[in-house]
Structure 1
């Protein structure tokens, strides 16, 4: 609508006041470069100004700091429980060689992905993060499709995070019970029930106010870090290999040189396949991106938290890999143990029982906090996508609870789907392993689509935020894309080939991830392309420099009143 004289006067005051046009903000926005986000009822602070310039009105309290954001991210990373849960793949596919120098190789690619993502986060600090970036940076006309694929792939990462973590935690709890009572053998049904119980507890915890969540995850992250350091020290100090007639540590020539024949593929391919453990363990560093709307100084603190999480996790994760690689006695026995949990079985090979119980206890508690952190991050992603009407019944999932000021409906929506996914546990460890494979491959696909677009297709429509890589942006992004292009097909390979390959030994990642993604792609071409236009602006904005002054957007968050602006268009999708 056209502005009245009163509105024109108001427009002048806005231009001269705190409110700046989008072209003056360090963001890459879906709004045209001359627009000024406007809300007559409030005066925005710096963080709210940045978010408004991206097209969204503030809806959360900004009670996360750099430290507390890092705490949630590190809790989601959960090095100790993540390592314990994925030891079947990390050690089982290539043995100690894959755990030692293989971890270093993988971390080069992962760190490049993390730094490239952090650069995007600084430029677009929204809960929808990766999805928003794909929409804005894609070439003209391709923004909605890029956002659609990125969003759904990222949502699959988030939705499988808490179920897979809680499955690993439940398996460790039951393995600990089996160690205490050797006559007890855990069943798949019991593992499923315990996993469901953990999911429900985390659902209640994740529905609390932001301040409570920040404090709880700070405690959880500190405990995770302390437990990790204690275990790294305790394993080499407490090993009783000598009492069992072995050397205190395995010789380095064996640790670094012997590749366990865990697959039917050549040794090099087996090492690459073992990266699933590294990738899944290190996949939580995107959490600060999704929490950026609840973080103060978000376009600096959130990217710093991403890089800090990835770097800290990479270094300490490697130390953990080393102590296990130098003390493991029999890889095959650890993988096939009746305990049903390779990490617990490994500990029983080289540690006194009381020490094993102590390490498992630390790992279980760390895993509990990790599961809760995963559910928090997932709920923010679901909220962000529902805000743009990506889901059926989005109007329910995008509601912010007026008491807690958190997306409680999104929490329980994710919780119910997560419990349904945990039914895979009833198919046994190999089938349940699809949860971990999905998390690894879906994360890489979602993380890399906007990075790939930025590196190879962006032509002047990316505005770097205050945290950026400068001249290293292009080479870092190129390495990240090359690493992902290599790993995606590797993660889909089965461990066995030929006549030995059957339903029980099949890698179900292609079906469990590829099936839903194929359905989503078909949905796009059949129907979704008609109504999904990418990020949906819900903030008022004064249209300046467009020939006439107009006001677009509405104050409420209903889909009927929000302004849809397709990502990737030359005049609407990006800044000059």
Structure 2
């Protein structure tokens, strides 16, 4: 049957209402200059944009700007993130790591976030980072570069929920140890508790989009409340002056000073403490992965990215100032004399009475649980979108949308299973800490490659979306790339060097992240390059117009059946 006959037959049931090209919505697309046939009589700008980028509209767009921000703020999880990463800030550079060190690091992170927001407006797809890389790369290298960015970002996503679940379980067991002197948590207790936490989180992450949006809206409000309550109690209800015969707050010199707990120079120790702010702030990419479920995505998505990064940065800085000005014994927190394995809980225990310590720790635990299932939501969208283009083994299973929930349930549970395998690292001692630093280095690399291409090779090719930085675009991009180039080697540094750098104190990021990337790149060079050439459309062949002749056939078929056709989102013809 000819394409014209096929169109006439389909048109009798589903009238063609629009012919859309990438130029109509001002995007660079994997389908080049081809046009897309839409049979949706009420096609929106969002659907027209995703069609022009080469994809079907498969999700319900039930996320608004606020609910998208809510998911990303939950992924950011300031309270549990700060609690779980104190080891990388205060335990590297002392109070400087959570005061001026955090502030300097946040400036670099904000430049990365602003540049990502600009790219998300131009490429509002759930696989946007790797899609943007492919569209902005030299044709010869687009497959390899997008492959590397895709896998690097996936490593971030797949390690997110397990690392947060592990922190949640560790804090619960730390409270058990605090209230029961006879109890010492064995590793298998932590593993089973983490498994239970992430299992429940996976169930929640498999819910319909509308439920997820509502849950995250409520959890964001709860996050804000718990942060505010913790902030007030730490400042106003501490026992420094009443029980410890100290001033109510530390001096400025003490709160902003470097106490170097590494074998490296002071400046390097401060740079190493940036790992905490990088990991804490890494959730701001979540709106990008929800772009296909968000209405008005080209502006709501970048706004949510910037809102998450800026709000999280400012509130996180204020909260850590409270810690720096109230901490009683820095050495005791760093060395964890109580044996709790949680610097935040150790800090609360020396500052507050037991009931308040338990209450604030419980708040961090609850928000860590919320953060874990929010991480799973973002991770499932990444696995789904990359599988849609054949990036992963068994992609056809992970790229399915559940017909009942209209969410990628298969992808949720695939990530959960991989997470359980990663959690076995805890039986290797501190090697489990590598999943935190993988989240930092992997996110920075995947976030910044598209920006590097935008300010270099694709400088004149890039088509900015409605949300853009204008004349500040290059300034932000250059600073973001420079900051990332500085931090990539630093994130691989161990705390100690020489004879002090024993296997149990090693920074295993070098092995966990780089070995994983080596395997992914090796797989591409050996085999995957034969089946993967970059993002590919999942539109049906009958929905694509590849020539002027086909366009005329479509117009004639529609007109002859008594229907109208629109070009882009413009007037009917």
Compute the TM-score of the two structures, normalised by the length of structure 1.
0.91
Gap change, CA 1:6 and 1:194, over 3 Å in 2 = closer
1:37 match: secondary structure: strand
Tell me how far 1:183 sits from its aligned partner. Answer: 2.6
Deviation digits for residues 219-251 of structure 1 (CA, Å, limit 9, x no counterpart): 111111111111111101111012212221111
Match in the other structure for 2:568: none
CA contact (8 A) 1:186 1:339 kept: no
CA contact (8 A) 2:37 2:545 kept: no
Tell me how far 1:492 sits from its aligned partner. Answer: 0.2
Match in the other structure for 1:432: 432
Gap change, CA 1:98 and 1:459, over 3 Å in 2 = closer
Aligned equivalents of 1:304, 1:76: Cα separation in 2: 16
1:38 match: secondary structure: strand
Tell me how far 1:176 sits from its aligned partner. Answer: 1.5
CA contact (8 A) 2:17 2:40 kept: no
Which range is displaced more, 327-336 or 56-65? 327-336
Deviation digits for residues 273-320 of structure 1 (CA, Å, limit 9, x no counterpart): 001110000000000000011111111101100000000000000001
Tell me how far 1:41 sits from its aligned partner. Answer: 5.9
Tell me how far 1:407 sits from its aligned partner. Answer: 0.6
Match in the other structure for 2:292: 293
Deviation digits for residues 134-182 of structure 1 (CA, Å, limit 9, x no counterpart): 0100012111111100000000000000000011111111111222223
Gap change, CA 1:474 and 1:510, over 3 Å in 2 = same
Matched, 1:368 2:355: no
Q: Give the alignment of 1:298-309 within 5 angstroms.
A: 298-309=297-308
Aligned equivalents of 1:227, 1:247: Cα separation in 2: 26
CA contact (8 A) 2:15 2:39 kept: no
In the alignment, structure 2 segments of 5+ residues that lack a partner are: 555-573
- The structure 2 residue matched to 1:543, chosen from 519, 542, 545, is 545
CA contact (8 A) 1:224 1:366 kept: yes
CA-based RMSD of the aligned residues comes to 2.2
Aligned equivalents of 1:127, 1:158: Cα separation in 2: 13
CA contact (8 A) 1:166 1:199 kept: yes
Aligned equivalents of 2:426, 2:24: Cα separation in 1: 52
Gap change, CA 1:24 and 1:340, over 3 Å in 2 = same
Gap change, CA 1:412 and 1:10, over 3 Å in 2 = closer
Match in the other structure for 2:44: 45
CA contact (8 A) 1:153 1:443 kept: yes
Tell me how far 1:460 sits from its aligned partner. Answer: 2.9
Match in the other structure for 1:508: 508
CA contact (8 A) 1:81 1:367 kept: yes
In the alignment, structure 1 segments of 5+ residues that lack a partner are: 553-576
Which range is displaced more, 541-550 or 351-360? 541-550
CA contact (8 A) 2:174 2:340 kept: yes
Match in the other structure for 1:115: 114
CA contact (8 A) 1:2 1:550 kept: no
Which range is displaced more, 407-416 or 350-359? 350-359
CA contact (8 A) 1:126 1:293 kept: yes
Deviation digits for residues 502-524 of structure 1 (CA, Å, limit 9, x no counterpart): 21111110100000101111111
Count, aligned residues: 547
Aligned equivalents of 2:375, 2:125: Cα separation in 1: 18
Tell me how far 1:45 sits from its aligned partner. Answer: 1.6
Deviation digits for residues 316-371 of structure 1 (CA, Å, limit 9, x no counterpart): 00001100011112222213321121110111111111111111111111111000
